[in-house]
Chain A
């Protein structure tokens, strides 16, 4: 304790943050079981038991919102999870240090753009006079407004996610790759393994444990897809496919002031996330991994 005094000191802000913004607000879950009145606060609000959960499951759009949330989240994992791994493997093969650095900067950059900017960028690219339509016209096609086609909504969300997050996601994998013993590669080279074989047989298996932990964390956040990521792309034309828990909670909870119903949704999301994390962890344990 005394030896690492400074290290403990440095942990304090993190713990304070965790207690203030993660632990204490858990108490707020109580309002899911009340008819919460913002004027009276949650000590004086009326207790209503499971009323809001009952409402939720009767609400006809609930299943649509649930379905949309699940579908987008699963698609995002299917496409968004492997992307940084592939990118990291590819980047690791860039031998010229100058190129590698330049490439990393370019790939990391989009992560620092807000979703508002990225949505504006996509809307611009896909507008009637945008570059995408110009290409379509150049090839003899007809101008079309993809942003208002509901079938294009999910691909647009996934593609924009890949654009923004893939580069930054490589950081952890590149760190894991840097930790691989070079002797493994040398031995493989002596045995005559080519570049591709070295990637498949050495690099990939070495970063797999890291990938599994990240997958587990990602599944935990499955339904917490991120409000602004969807909201900035959403229009009434795409409500049907794009209305997810986060946008619903925003619309009903924050702007309409129905805090109890939306807290009930939050709790429901958390329960689903917990079950999913537990299931994935069980699966991993069978493979010899797992977090606990």
Chain B
């Protein structure tokens, strides 16, 4: 009996091992095999959309016919870019780079120096003429400066019109009989009214959060802009101060900005949870009708509008919050013509594969194809019901549960005109102003983007700095020290004067070297 039992256990164990081994083997099988003559291209980019794209996706089927490629986009977790970068490094270490991918975290320098990505200098002119001529010359000059000989193109830059600005709830202002503020003082008056009165009209005067930001002091640039601080999405930038290229966070103006933020915080005008708000929590407060004024992509505001409207706030109206004037400073809203590296192509790719992929990218980024692209594909962008075309929002599409992503993404080029045309086209697909919330949301976004285009928006001098200036100083690149000091001073944990200690520590922990490198690069580019 006992002997039999041991035999049985042994058998079970062997079976278990066998299953595990088979599992490993099955995991390495290719999921899809492209048809003859069609080249499979593995594509990675910022993955904020859910779902994947494979050979059976309607867009891939179209791309296979049009360009002879299968556009394979696996699901790569994004998590603010951290997880993406980690996965990418893993693939580099395994010697198995994706074919076409967005470099992140300044990795493009390493990729180029080690010959891991393909030289695109002549190919981009031949296969992407529209994109090539749309991208400004100074951006191409910068891209070339990343190459060893200073003359070659290894990276396709992302040049996108990104209207990042402040917003304020117009319906809240109406309820309190206040105009849109234009100066720092007027803004404080409005924030106080939001704090003290029932601005959201829910019968409770105490649940309004006048303004808010996110952890690391991010996404509250509207509060730094009045002081003339160069900042992108909460990250201080290099710009000209006292005639020299310098880090904006160590300027005296930053101290004034922090002092003001500290006052706002102490008065209960800045969300007490600002420095621990995750993206989700912050977004939840905005769409929960709790935040009166915030900073974000104006062109993305339609999503917030829709959620608020669907939750019963049918009079929701977002107003553009102009750059607030300060009596002592010359403020401006920071923008960069060069957003980030868009794509690189693995050096292992054949020239034919690169050419075909580039043709697809050219099509995606040619302003002349906007309408064709937005029309999209049946079952992805629209469905036909009773002979009528019914458009699918991203939420509608996800609800279908196909496991696919809705759009190929891969946008490398856009300007204000492109965004406006896109919105116009989307509005033309709707049934006029009564088609709420979609129509009023688009109208609202267009109005804000127009107002932004008239405002004090400036491209900064430090936009063309290669990631290599931070080499050896990772904490300078990640703005860690700045984030710690700004948070602790604003919440009142530390005295304002510790800002001077921050400046000193920043320079000593590598800031001096990084500033010198930045200035040298800037001088060379001039």
- Name 9 extra pairs, CB < 8 A, besides A148-B487, A251-B474, A255-B86: A6-B10, A40-B114, A145-B276, A148-B493, A237-B491, A239-B480, A251-B480, A255-B82, A258-B474
With a CB–CB cut-off of 8 A, which chain A residues contact B17? 13
B276:A39 contact, CB within 8 angstroms: no
A selection of 8 A-B contacts at a CB cut-off of 8 Å is A9-B13, A38-B110, A39-B110, A127-B273, A150-B488, A235-B275, A236-B487, A255-B105
A149 interface residue per 8 A CB criterion? yes
Which parts of A242-264 form the interface with B (CB within 8 Å)?
Answer: 251-252, 254-258
In the assembled complex, B125 has its CB within 8 A of some CB on chain A: no
Flag if B493 contacts A149 (CB, 8 Å). yes
Q: How far apart are the CA atoms of A128 and B273 in the complex, in Å?
A: 8
Known contacts A39-B116, A237-B484, A251-B478, A128 near B89 by CB under 8 Å: no
Contact pattern, B 1-42, Cβ under 8 Å of A = 1, otherwise 0: 000001001100100010000000000000000000000000
A-B pairs, top 9 by smallest CB distance, nearest first, are: A39-B114, A236-B483, A256-B474, A239-B484, A237-B487, A252-B474, A236-B487, A236-B484, A38-B92
Q: Mark B113-140, 1 if CB is under 8 A from A, else 0.
A: 0111000000000000000000000000
A254 touches B105 (CB 8 A): no
Interface pair A128/B272, CB less than 8 Å apart = yes
Measured CA separation A39–B276 after assembly (Å): 37
Q: How far is the CB of B148 from chain A (nearest CB, A)?
A: 14
Q: Does A290 contact B (CB under 8 A)?
A: no
How many of chain B's residues touch chain A, expressed as a range?
Answer: 35 or more
A254 to B84, CA, bound (A): 11
Tell me whether B10 and A38 are in contact (CB under 8 A): no
Seen from chain B, the residues whose Cβ lies within 8 Å of a Cβ on chain A are 6, 9-10, 13, 17, 82, 85-86, 89, 92-93, 105, 107, 110, 114-116, 215-217, 272-273, 275-276, 474-475, 477-478, 480, 483-484, 486-488, 491, 493, 505, 508-509
Q: In the bound complex, what is the Cα–Cα distance between A149 and B276 (angstroms)?
A: 11
Q: How large is the interface on A (under 10, 10 to 19, 20 to 34, 35 or more residues)?
A: 20 to 34
**CB proximity to B under 8 Å, residues A1-47:** 6, 9-10, 13, 37-41
- CB B120 to nearest CB in A, in angstroms, measures 19
* Distance in angstroms between the alpha carbons of A150 and B9 in the assembled complex: 54
Bound together, the chains give a CA A52 to CA B276 distance in angstroms of: 34
Taking CB atoms, residues of chain B closer than 8 Å to A10 are 13
Q: Find chain A residues with CB under 8 A from B493 CB.
A: 148-150, 237
Query: How far is A10 from B10 in the complex, measured between Cα atoms in Å?
Result: 9
Query: In the assembled complex, how far is the CB of residue A206 from the closest CB belonging to chain B, in whole angstroms?
Result: 33
B215 touches A235 (CB 8 A): yes
Q: Hey, which chain A residues are within 8 Å of B509, CB to CB?
A: 60-61
A161 interface residue per 8 A CB criterion = no
Instruction: Check B508 against A60 for contact (C-beta < 8 Å).
Output: yes
Residues in A neighbouring B9, C-beta threshold 8 A: 6
> Which of A40, A60, A148, A255 has a CB less than 8 Å from the CB of B276?
A148
Q: Is A123 positioned at the interface, with any CB of B under 8 Å from its CB?
A: yes
- CB distance B272 to A39 under 8 Å? no
A residues in contact with B13, CB < 8 Å: 9-10
Interface set, chain A 212-253, CB cutoff 8 A to B = 235-237, 239-240, 251-252
| Bound form: Cα–Cα A79–B260 in Å | 42
Instruction: Indicate if the CB atoms of A256 and B105 lie closer than 8 Å.
Output: yes
